């Protein structure tokens, strides 16, 4: 049985789930877009938790990986900080993007989390074209039976929602 995947127009800072995925930078230093919004909504304890994670040369989470922190003041209990590729400079952006989504879903399983809200990783300032990112994101969610009850893509624009719903229809129609 396929895990239910929903695609909604919304705001991850108000999304109720066991975890939400942050489109983070490698330093886990906060930033603009979703990253900044989640940090503002969660409060300063989120930045403190990020700073407490081990770093190598200021890198706390390399591209293609994910790290877990509490959600603090967010409705989600946890934040999974996933770092996508910088589209123009990553030698294999599709592999890095898939790896980032996969790492976040694995963290859900490892910590017994049952529901997750996902963004359009790397589609903001990192420049990944949404029409190319959507099939990769959906593909990772469908590549195996993840031990989750629900996956929801919570996207910030109608164009993103359209791209993700198309990718989901095409993937599920082909299965």
Is the pLDDT score of 2 beyond 90?
no
Sheet holding 115-118, edge to edge: 5-9, 150-155, 115-118, 19-23, 78-82, 66-70
With cut-offs at 50, 70 and 90, classify the pLDDT of residue 174.
low
Say what the alpha-carbon torsion angle 50, 89, 143, 131 is, to the nearest 10 degrees: 110
Is the pLDDT score of 161 beyond 80?
yes
- Judging by beta carbons within 10 Å of its beta carbon (0-12, 13-18, 19+), is residue 57 exposed, middle or buried? exposed
- The string of pLDDT tens digits covering residues 99-114 is 999 999 999 999 999 9
- What average pLDDT score do residues 20-24 get? 98
Total domains in the chain come to 1
Whether residue 11 lies in the annotated active site: no
| Residue numbers of the domain that contains 41 | 5-174
Contacts of 137 (CB under 8 A, 6+ apart): 97, 101, 118, 120, 121, 153, 164, 167
Share of the chain above pLDDT 90, in %: 95
Query: pLDDT averaged over the chain?
Result: 96
What is the β-pairing status of strands 78-82 and 66-70?
A: antiparallel
- Cα dihedral sign for 140, 141, 146, 152? positive
Helix (H) or strand (E) holding 6: strand 5-9
Of the candidates 57, 16, 5, the one whose C-alpha atom is nearest the C-alpha of residue 164 is: 5
With cut-offs at 50, 70 and 90, classify the pLDDT of residue 128.
very high
138: DSSP letter: H
Helix (H) or strand (E) holding 117: strand 115-118
CATH code of residue 136: 3.40.220.10
- The string of pLDDT tens digits covering residues 73-94 is 999 999 999 999 999 999 999 9
- The string of pLDDT tens digits covering residues 24-35 is 999 999 989 999
Is the pLDDT score of 50 beyond 90?
yes
Is the pLDDT score of 38 beyond 70?
yes
Catalytic-labelled residue, pool 11, 18, 35, 147: 35
- What average pLDDT score do residues 159-175 get? 91
């Amino acid at each position: 049985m396929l895990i239910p995947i929903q695609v909604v127009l919304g705001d991850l800072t108000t999304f109720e789930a066991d975890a939400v995925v942050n489109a983070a930078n490698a330093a886990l230093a906060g930033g603009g877009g979703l990253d900044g919004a989640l940090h503002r909504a969660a409060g300063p304890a989120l930045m403190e938790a990020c700073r407490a994670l081990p770093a190598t040369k200021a890198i706390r989470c390399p591209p293609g990986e994910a790290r877990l922190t509490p959600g603090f003041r967010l409705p989600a209990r946890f934040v999974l900080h996933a770092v996508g590729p910088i589209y123009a400079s990553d030698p294999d952006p599709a592999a890095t993007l898939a790896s980032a989504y996969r790492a976040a879903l694995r963290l859900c399983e490892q910590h017994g989390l049952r529901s997750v809200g996902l963004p359009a990783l790397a589609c903001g300032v990192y420049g990944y074209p949404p029409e190319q990112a959507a099939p990769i994101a959906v593909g990772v969610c469908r590549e195996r039976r993840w031990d989750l009850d629900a996956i929801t893509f919570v996207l910030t624009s109608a164009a993103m929602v359209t791209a993700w719903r198309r990718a989901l229809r095409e993937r599920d129609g082909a299965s």
